[in-house]
Amino acid sequence: MKTIEIDDELYQYIASQTLHIGESASSILRRLLAIKSKDNKMNLAHTAQSKNAATSLVTLLKSENFLAEKKLVNRFLIILSTLYLLDKSMFSVAATSLHGSKRRYLAKDEATLLKSGKNTKPKSIPNTPYMVVTNSNTARKIFIMESLMRNMEISEEIINQVKTQFVLK
């Protein structure tokens, strides 16, 4: 993954072409330029990585420690931490592009999240350099996880399994 600098006008154009919240800049540019990944080895590696991610998430969801955790905010942090550890670069890209119209949900510093409001209650995501707002309702937490997982190209089946762990019982 490479980093490039672009001017504000170009950035605004790319952002305006977003089809869904959290879509990465790379995905937008590939779609706009009609470029498909030509590196079959990378595709095969990504497929294997996706299977590993699915296995890791399912294992986590069935683990005694996860099931014993009754606080949804702690489950939320555990899932985010696991997603980061599964693929740091994909998580970082997804985290950067995930935000609401007035609020950032994830950032590497508390100050960025506090700019969104004084009651965001930022918490560190364990084993990551990221913080996340935690004062949002369960539906918003699910939205954050779902958006990250989609942008990390995790299957809908796994996304749905994760979401079921946040249904109020």
Domains in the chain (CATH in brackets) are 8-164 (1.20.1380.10)
Token representation of residue 43: 């595709």
Quote the radius of gyration of the chain (alpha carbons, Å). Answer: 16
- 1: Cβ contacts below 8 Å, ≥ 6 apart: 89, 93
Instruction: Give residue-wise pLDDT tens across range 128-145.
Output: 999 999 988 899 999 999
* DSSP H/E element including 107: strand 106-107
Rounded mean pLDDT, 161-166: 91
Which alpha helices (DSSP H) does 36-137 contain, by range?
A: 40-62, 64-68, 72-86, 88-97, 110-114
pTM of this prediction exceeds 0.75: no
Tell me how many degrees the CA angle 92-74-131 measures, rounded to the nearest 5.
Answer: 35
